[in-house]
Structure 1
Amino acid sequence: TTSGFEEPNDEEYARRVESYWRQVYESDCFDIEGVRAPPCMEMNGLITFNCLSFGYPDRPLVNRYARLGLHRYNMKEGTNFELDCLIKFNKLCIGASSYWITLAARDTVARSPMQTFQVQVDEKRARLLDLMCSIARVKGETTTTAPFSSHNDCVVDGRLPDWPVDAFDGSQRFYLAEGSELLYTHWIHLYLELAVCKTHMSISDKDLSKLKIVKVAI
């Protein structure tokens, strides 16, 4: 008696895995509806969450990852886009994962039409604020055609300069931000919320709203 499922041999399995990731990478891991992982690798493929129709895990964290991407885009383009809603996101089923987030945002100053954005955030370590926002773009834009490579793969050609012996001596390289300045540096509060979210994964938006910045040294 058989179950009707014939397990593929190693060569066939490798072909299916390669085909799966090729289809995933065609959309930079953002739009993978209809792409099915081969049997026996469901836990190793991307997991998709629809944020408009269903509940999704780590809501406060993913929300702030989306805002982090918009902060990067605004700094680069001189815009003022703010998050309207999350649409969907994909992630790996591992502790430190990458997140491929699709969201809607609007420029609150230019009052331009709603735009759909794609944001990729790569966690380097779980439960610590050690991450990189590698993609922040309007959907349809192309950021790079080069294959992805980890920043850890970078090789420096030549000798690095000596680190200054007094690099962290003295306090002249810091200044205290005034209260009025904090009104225009909302990214400080965003980074604080991210730091709390990463170390307290179960925290709610309600509790995060109680965070208050008392003093900031920049």
Structure 2
Amino acid sequence: MACQRGEGEDGRPQVKKFDGFDLPTVGPISSYRLRHFEHARYWHPSNKAFVKVYAQLGLHRYNFLEGTNYRFSLLQSYNRGMTSGAARYYLSLFADCPDSGRTLPFHALVSENRIGRLDISVHIARPRCSEEQPRLCRPTYTCSPLPRWPSSEMFAQRRFYTLNEHELRNTDWVRLYLDLAHSTCDRGMTESQLSDFYIEQVAIRSLSDADPPSLDSKSLVVYMVYKDLAKDRLGEPCYRKAIIRRVYEESSRSLTFQGKHWSFSEEKEKKKKKKDKKRFALLKKRLGVCGAWRLGIDVYRKRGIRSSSTTR
């Protein structure tokens, strides 16, 4: 936590704490290694989609841990680390309380562990008047590989829970997690592009073997099958999959999210490449390296001739 010097009510010099959320009143912002963005003045259009998702995720962390039901209203501003890679985002936002109808200011701290993929941690989410301090500690599981997509037989097992239609349409964080997976991987995505994804099936698995999977599980893996409506309108392959892992760290009270997404056509292409590698490995054993390469070149030539003839 940084400090800044100012004057107290008695006119004497006073040191004020600055934890990254509120702007310092003395000295340049650059001395705190942060850049400030406001909705009205310095908002960068390409940042809007994913930073807004970060703010919604911070509020989700507060509701998740405190058992509240605040609704995201507005992202007011944020301070971002000056690095060009993974950075911390100190977000100032507003949320509505459905019980009282009041709108309250909130703070949220979201840290990117890696850039260009879903790998982030939410360390702080609090009402602006709260004194919760960040307990930053990099989780040991951050770089652990994501699980593979289960088979249909595995989904039928008791350690998986498939959401029914009511749960799928009324669990806000399901949609939020999908938006998070896409906006972190492609920062140029707009809100309208994110709205083109239609979720069809969701299954969850608890990371704790002692607890059965449920929507209340603190650490879990989410498996999604969804549709890209924009590609569907063009008549292109439109079905996609996503895996998002949420891990709760008890010592720091932080939530860490990791995930990836891919299309069915990409999955088929990967399977095809694996088969080709296996075939080539068998050919190497039977014919030797030179013989396998010659045979492979002949096959690719024939494929090229066929594809060119079909295009004509």
> One fold, TM greater than 0.5?
yes
Shift of 1:43: 8.8
1:97 matched to 2:78: no
Q: 1:52 aligns with which of 35, 40, 54?
A: 40
Q: Which residue of 2 aligns with 1:27?
A: 18
Q: 1:214 aligns with which of 196, 200, 209?
A: 200
1:66 matched to 2:58: no
The answer as to whether partners of 2:33 and 2:81 remain within 8 angstroms in 1 is yes
The answer as to whether partners of 2:2 and 2:19 remain within 8 angstroms in 1 is no
The answer as to whether partners of 1:82 and 1:105 remain within 8 angstroms in 2 is yes
The answer as to whether partners of 2:3 and 2:18 remain within 8 angstroms in 1 is no
Higher helix share goes to which structure? 2
The answer as to whether partners of 1:82 and 1:106 remain within 8 angstroms in 2 is yes
Q: Deviations over 1:154-205 (max 9, x none)?
A: xxxxxxxxxxxxxx99442112211111122110110110110011110111
SS of the aligned residue for 1:80 comes to: coil
Q: Which residue of 2 aligns with 1:139?
A: 128
1:203 matched to 2:189: yes
Higher strand share goes to which structure? 2
Q: 2:138 aligns with which of 133, 151, 158?
A: 151
* More relative contact order, 1 or 2 (CA 8 Å, 6+ apart): 1
Q: Looking at CA atoms only, which structure, 1 or 2, has the larger radius of gyration?
A: 2
Report sequence identity in percent.
32
SS of the aligned residue for 2:111 comes to: strand
Write the distance in 2 (CA, Å) between the matches of 1:152 and 1:37.
Answer: 32
Write the distance in 2 (CA, Å) between the matches of 1:203 and 1:179.
Answer: 27
Write the distance in 2 (CA, Å) between the matches of 1:98 and 1:186.
Answer: 24
The answer as to whether partners of 2:58 and 2:124 remain within 8 angstroms in 1 is yes
SS of the aligned residue for 1:183 comes to: helix
Length-normalised TM-score, structure 2? 0.52
Q: Which residue of 2 aligns with 1:17?
A: none
Q: Which residue of 1 aligns with 2:174?
A: 188
SS of the aligned residue for 2:58 comes to: helix
| Aligned counterparts, 1:167-178, within 5 A | 170-171=154-155, 172=157, 173-178=159-164
Write the distance in 1 (CA, Å) between the matches of 2:117 and 2:97.
Answer: 31
CA separation of 1:78 and 1:149: change in aligned 2, threshold 3 A: closer
CA separation of 1:196 and 1:35: change in aligned 2, threshold 3 A: farther
The answer as to whether partners of 1:43 and 1:93 remain within 8 angstroms in 2 is no
Length-normalised TM-score, structure 1? 0.73
Partner AA of 2:3 in structure 1: R
Write the distance in 2 (CA, Å) between the matches of 1:203 and 1:183.
Answer: 23
Q: Which residue of 2 aligns with 1:179?
A: 165
The answer as to whether partners of 2:123 and 2:136 remain within 8 angstroms in 1 is no
Partner AA of 2:162 in structure 1: L
Partner AA of 1:67 in structure 2: Q
The answer as to whether partners of 1:99 and 1:122 remain within 8 angstroms in 2 is yes
Partner AA of 1:102 in structure 2: S
Task: Report the number of matched residues.
Answer: 180
Q: Which residue of 2 aligns with 1:121?
A: 110
1:36 matched to 2:24: no
